[in-house]
Amino acid sequence: MSGDSGFLFTFFNLAVAKQYWPAIGMGMLVTVGVGLAVVATGTALGLALAVLRSFGLRLLALPIVVFADVMRSLPPLVVMIVLYFGLPALGLPMSAFAVTWVALSLVLAAYAEESIWAGILAVPPGQLEAARSTGMGWWQGMRCVVLPQALRRAVPPLTNRIIATTKNTALGSVVALNEILNNAQGATSHAGNPTPLVMASVAYLIVFMPLVFASRGVERRWGRA
Amino acid sequence: MPILDIAGLHKSYGSTEVLRGVDLQVNTGELVCVIGPSGSGKSTMLRCCNLLETPTRGRITANGHEVTSSAVNINHVRQDIGMVFQQFNLYPHLSALDNVSLALRKVQRKPRDEADQLAQAALEQVGLGAKAGNRPAELSGGQQQRVGIARAVALKPHIILFDEPTSALDPELVEDVLNVMRDLRQRGMTMLVVTHEMAFAHAAADRVVFMDGGVVVEQGTAAEVFETPREPRTRSFLARYGSARS
Amino acid sequence: MQSFVQNFFNLEIYAAVLPYLLQGLWTTVWLSAIVIPLGAAAGLALALGLTQSAGRLVRGAIVVWVDFFRAFPPLVLLILIYFGGPFLGVELNKVSAVVLAFVLNNSSYFAEVFRAGLEGVDKGQMEASRSTGLTRAQALRHVVVPQAVRNVLPDLVGNGIEIVKLTSIASVVAIPELLRSARDAQSLVFNPSPVMLAALIYLALLWPLTRWLGRLEHRRARA
């Protein structure tokens, strides 16, 4: 292995770092931005689908189940590539941000729907009965009694899945999204030095380690129903 | 006019007929106890009264509303019919006070303060005023059921249906709940109670109804049914259970 | 509509590229077959270290290691190892880089699953087996770990399915797995159909497994 100074010069080159840290910083903004957008739309869509499924209509439930199965069976990168190349062919060109956002939202929505649905099933039917027996409508009963309990049960699997999905924003680099990895790869080849890749690693850790710690705390607080 | 009028009630699940023509009336201020073996359809009949089960045939009228009509606003009607469940069915994520006040706020649209006051009063009535802030998990079974009763009472219904209210309780907790029910009776509440507590039915009921095989076999005053039953089925059931419990 | 079919479900193109994609599928399969056992073994070792070790330092280190790799995107890890390696003078061939990255990433998920499984086994099991003279290691091997595995079998299967999906990332470093084959074919025919066909093949492979997983979870929930 090369000497100490060689290692540092290669992977922790301060000159290179100074030149390219803005690019990495911009990439962090994009990563966080896409991540937040995906979590917001993915969980909202998943919740909506789970509620629709709880109506009990087979015609409604079947496409939801198919959607959830398909989106959980396909690798997220494949979903992204299909959208990226397929949509322009349909006359619907989408930016890299949009493709990444839509693809990951669909995947997260599928997992969210399954977790929340499992939570809804776990709530004893007597709960809704009791609510309805006091004159509450079906939706009131769901909103005030069933869903709060269902969501509590869904939190542990959901937080894990949210972390996994937001990490997949790195896949956006494949469709040329200017997030951390993409910018770092560009910088690396430009500088002929892998320091930007190390910077990217640090950037990802800065973004995601807090998320992992937070999820442990959330699980501990909400996990005990 | 009776507060609750059940006429020709039939209920089938697929090919299994659980209720084969039940006729029953409950008058204002009466405590009517329904007894009978498991599978006789007692609970099903009770749950048809507030449409938790849908009758296959028959007519049910409660508080002047025809519950079985297709035009009925069931949420409106249910505010006037209280229900107490065997499994309590308290909302675990809410305090006792919120359990009782939820319908007051969401269904009767009462403001928070007013709803909380009414809820607190209902809890006091069942002897649990001090536990208003506790979650169901922190309460004993008997206390939970009493909160369930408070939840039904708070809406000021004209009749309360009790579906085996003490069957899920440890024996030493049963008496507390029965006392609350006796107290309700004193205050003039109309009550229809499906129960296995024979001593309670014998002592407290105005009328007792014996059901078996999906029909009402016999009914009369408590004394008539428990002491001088006419039907052989009634007699053999009472012999098995005993008309008095220690 | 016509152009939709032409672009996504072009049967002629499907027929032409299918052999190529099937080779890619084979790569996906054997890559998974290498990573899954290695990841599971590493994860089990980490979980055992976490639950059985008395040393706070050891357990702390394992927690940090596991959280680190849970927070680190696998694609970035792969790129780092693959492109950064040569700078260290370490010439990892493509497959080794991929396997290393995947095992590092996935063993942390396996570790979490096994940890939950081990913690779910009643303490009395260890006590009972030790009281009959078994050593710690024997008790773990014959009594505790088998029960732990049975408890979390659905999660292990789920993780296995995740690894099969993960192999698609290897396409970025030009490993000729299924997605890579499809993208190569696509650049030859100028038509997104190959990628669509790859998606269909993934579905054919993984959808039944996902359904089976659902049944396993359902059975566990009822038990």
**pLDDT score, position B245:** 44
Q: How close A213 gets to chain B, by Cα (Å)?
A: 26
Of the residues C21, C72, C119, the best mutation for testing chain A's interface (the one with the most A CB atoms within 10 Å of its CB) is: C72
> In residues, how long is chain B?
246
The residue ranking higher by pLDDT, B154 or A5, is: B154
pLDDT at B132: 95
Residues in chain A closer than 8 A to C83 (CB atoms): 188, 194, 197
Evaluate whether B217 touches B234 at the Cβ level (below 8 Å): yes
Cα B62 from chain centroid (whole Å): 14
What's the CA gap between C21 and C183, in Å, rounded? 10
Provide the mean pLDDT of chain A.
88
What average pLDDT does range A183-198 have in this prediction?
Answer: 86
Structure tokens at C51: 């639950």
Say how many domains are in chain A: 1
The alpha carbon of residue A71 is apart from the nearest alpha carbon of chain B, in Å, by 32
To the nearest 10°, report the CA torsion of C188, C189, C193, C199.
-10
- The helix/strand/coil state of A12 is coil
CB pair distance less than 8 Å for A75 and C192: no
C71 touching chain A per CB within 8 A: yes
Indicate contact of B with C: 3+ CB pairs under 8 A: no
Question: What tens digit of pLDDT does each residue of C15-34 get?
Answer: 888 999 999 999 999 999 99
Please tell me which of the candidates B78, B90, B148 has its beta carbon nearest to residue A132: B78
B78 touching chain A per CB within 8 A: yes
Residue C8's pLDDT band, with cuts at 50, 70 and 90, is confident
Which residues in chain B (2-61) have CB-CB distances under 8 A to chain A? 50, 52
Residue from A127, A132, A134, A145 whose CB has the most chain B CBs within 10 Å, to mutate: A134
CB contact (8 A) between residue B52 and residue A132: yes
Tokens 């505790």 map to which residue? Answer: C144
Kindly report the nearest CA distance between residue B224 and chain A, in angstroms: 33
pLDDT > 50? residue B244: no
Which of A135, A144, A152 is closest, CB to CB, to B75?
Answer: A135
Closest residue in chain B to residue A135, using alpha carbons only: B75
For the stretch B31-88, pLDDT in tens is: 999 999 988 999 999 999 989 999 999 999 998 889 998 888 888 889 899 999 999 9
CB contact under 8 A, A1 and C88: yes
In whole angstroms, give the CA distance from residue A155 to residue A218. 8
3-state secondary structure A103-121: HHHHHHHHHHHHHHHHHHH
Backbone angles phi, psi at B161, to 5 degrees: -100, 130
A-to-C residue pairs, Cβ atoms closer than 8 angstroms: 125
> Is there a contact between A136 and B152 if contact means CB atoms under 8 Å apart?
no
Identify the pLDDT of residue B242. 60
> Chain C residues with CB inside 8 Å of A169's CB?
73
More confident residue, A212 or B31: B31
A225 pLDDT higher than 60: no
Strand partners, B143: none
Contact A163 C71 (CB under 8 A): yes
What does the pLDDT read at residue A68?
Answer: 94
pLDDT tens digits for range C142-197: 888 988 998 899 889 989 999 999 999 998 888 899 999 998 988 888 888 899 99
3 state DSSP class of B58: strand
B48: Cα separation from own chain's centroid: 12
Per-residue pLDDT, A163:
87
Q: Is the pLDDT of residue C11 over 90?
A: no
Judged by CB atoms closer than 8 Å, whether chains meet at A204 and C73 is answered as yes
What pLDDT, on the 0 to 100 scale, is given for residue B74? 86
Burial class (CB in 10 A: 0-12, 13-18, 19+), C11: exposed
What average pLDDT does chain C have? Answer: 88
Nearest by Cα to C45 from C135, C172, C137: C137
Would you say A79 and A71 are in contact if contact means Cβ atoms under 8 Å apart? yes
Closest Cβ–Cβ partner in A2, A168, A212 for C71 = A212
Does the CB of C92 have a partner CB in chain A at under 8 Å? no
The mean per-residue pLDDT over the stretch B218-246 comes to 83
Angstroms from B179 CA to nearest CA on chain A = 22
pLDDT of residue C223: 65
Return the number of other C-beta atoms located less than 10 Å from residue A4's C-beta. 8
Reported confidence tier of residue A1, pLDDT bands at 50, 70, 90: very low
CB contact under 8 A, C199 and A85: no
Confidence (pLDDT) at C1:
63
Instruction: Please indicate, yes or no, if residue A219 is contained in any of the structural domains.
Output: yes
Taking alpha carbons only, the member of B14, B45, B35, B15 closest to residue B214 is B45
Predicted local confidence at residue A223, as pLDDT: 60
Domain range for residue A30?
A: 15-223
Tens digit of each residue's pLDDT (9 = 90 or more) over A136-169: 999 999 999 999 999 998 888 888 889 888 899 9
**In this predicted structure, what is the pLDDT of residue A137?**
92
In the predicted structure, residue C90 carries a pLDDT above the cut 80: no
Which DSSP category does B221 fall into?
Answer: E
A182: CATH: 1.10.3720.10
**Nearest residue, CB atoms, C76 vs list A7, A85, A181:** A181
Residue C222 predicted with pLDDT over 80: no
- Residue C17 CA to chain centroid, in angstroms? 27
Rounded Cα distance, C71 and A210, in Å: 9
Give which of B169, B223, B205 is closest to B26, Cα–Cα.
B205
Residue recorded with tokens 């996935």: C106
CA torsion C69-C75-C78-C79 (nearest 10°) is -130
Looking at every residue in chain B, the average pLDDT score rounds to 92
Q: What is the pLDDT of residue C136?
A: 83
Rounded Cα gap, residues A194 and A11, in angstroms: 6
Q: What are phi and psi of B11, to 5 degrees?
A: -145, 125
Most distant pair of Cα atoms in chain B: their distance = 56
pLDDT value for C192: 83
pLDDT in tens, B166-211: 999 999 999 999 999 999 999 999 999 999 999 999 999 999 999 9
The CA–CA distances, whole Å, from A123 to A116, A146, B144, B235, C135 equal: 11, 7, 18, 41, 43
Q: Which of A172-176, C43-47, C209-213 has the highest mean pLDDT?
A: C43-47
Q: For chain B, how are helix, strand and coil distributed in percent, rounded to 5?
A: 40, 25, 35
Q: Does C186 touch chain A (CB under 8 A)?
A: yes
Q: At A13, is the pLDDT very low, low, confident or very high (cuts 50, 70, 90)?
A: confident
Range of weakest confidence among A188-197, B103-112, B177-186: A188-197
Name the more confident of A94 and B6.
B6
Query: Across residues B140-165, what is the average pLDDT?
Result: 95
**Token pair 């006070």: residue:** B97
Contacts of B85 in chain A (CB under 8 A): 126, 129-130, 133
Give the amino acid at B68. Answer: T
| Strand, coil or helix: A165 | helix
Is residue B146 within 8 Å of B179, Cβ to Cβ? no
Query: Would you tell me the crossing angle of helices B171-186 and B141-153 to the nearest 10 degrees?
Result: 20
C166 touches chain A (CB under 8 A): yes
Query: What is residue B2's three-state secondary structure?
Result: coil
User: Do residues B9 and B45 lie in contact, with contact meaning Cβ atoms separated by under 8 Å?
Assistant: yes
Say which of A133, A144, A225 has its CB closest to residue B83: A133
Residue of B nearest to A134 (CA): B79
Q: How does strand B207-212 pair with strand B31-35?
A: parallel
Could you tell me the maximum CA-CA distance found in chain A, to the nearest angstrom?
Answer: 77
Chain B residues whose beta carbon lies within 8 Å of the beta carbon of residue A131: 91, 102-103
For chain A, the first-to-last Cα distance in angstroms comes to 53
- The percentage of residues in chain C with a pLDDT greater than 70, rounded to a whole number, is 99
pLDDT at B15 over 70: yes
- A144 inside 8 A of chain B by CB: yes
Q: For residue A151, what is the nearest residue in chain B, using CA coordinates?
A: B93
- At least 3 CB pairs under 8 A between chains B and A: yes
Q: What homologous superfamily does CATH list for C2-222?
A: MetI-like (1.10.3720.10)
Beta-ladder partners of B66: B61
Band (A5; pLDDT cuts 50, 70, 90): low
Residue A99, C-beta contacts closer than 8 angstroms, at least 6 positions apart: A80, A83, A84, A87, A172, A175, A177
